[in-house]
Chains A and B, each alone.
Chain A
Amino acid sequence: AQSVTQLDSQVPVFEEAPVELRCNYSSSVSVYLFWYVQYPNQGLQLLLKYLSGSTLVKGINGFEAEFNKSQTSFHLRKPSVHISDTAEYFCAVSDFGNFNKFYFGSGTKLNVKP
């Protein structure tokens, strides 16, 4: 089974500053990778996904993530954050051997300050 680690439980950042949210997963087998965002009292919305191809993936709201197979990482980045980006972000991994199982990290709360 996969394990997904989001080392930072909370990330405070000022508006218009860049941000990186880190995600590492355990297994080196072929994987599918996802980032989701959750606003207060809402469900999870897909930000972006990596299935294959280019290791740099662009998503909605100006976010992007880079797949690094050797480091088993899929870090999320945004060059300039807005107040509206304040939310909790979840990394998820699904591996080729068991497509029905999504493994989620524990989440990172991004707090954008004015």
Chain B
Amino acid sequence: NAGVTQTPKFQVLKTGQSMTLQCAQDMNHNSMYWYRQDPGMGLRLIYYSASEGTTDKGEVPNGYNVSRLNKREFSLRLESAAPSQTSVYFCAGQGQLNQPQHFGDGTRLSIL
């Protein structure tokens, strides 16, 4: 079972470049999430999608956009990357709303 799959696993960008991080799940989750993880700060929610066709801002949405392409896929786009966006990005899915979120293995993004 693949679960939640993120691509790519690693990426290095130059300031100002754009990039899309991909996330796909095969667990029939209704809700999907994008987080960033920075040392000593835990996970911070960037955007989430409660269902296909809807997206909402989380705690740190500035500089990012998202697309819920279908039930399986939820992508995160950096239009003009900045060094402050160097982080590890995690995608997660959730079935029913009282259930845990299931995480991908992360994308490690460095912006020079």
Contacts and interface: CB of A to CB of B under 8 A. Distances in A.
Q: Do A and B come from one complex?
A: yes
A43 B40 contact: no
Interface stretch (B11-19, B60-68, B71-79, B94-102): B94-102
B98 to A, nearest CB: 6
A105 B42 CA distance: 6
Interface residues of B, number: 25
A67 interface: no
Contacts of A32: 98
A102 B50 CA distance: 13
Interface residues of A, number: 23
Contacts, number: 51
Contacts of A44: 43, 90, 92, 103
Interface of A: 4, 9, 32, 34, 36, 41-46, 49, 51, 90, 94, 99-102, 104-107
5 contacts: A43-B105, A101-B45, A102-B43, A102-B45, A107-B42
Interface of B: 4, 31, 33, 40-45, 48, 50, 56, 58, 90, 92, 94, 97-98, 100-106
Given A43-B104, A100-B31, A100-B97, 13 more contacts: A4-B42, A9-B40, A32-B98, A34-B100, A41-B106, A44-B43, A46-B102, A90-B42, A90-B43, A100-B56, A102-B45, A106-B40, A107-B42
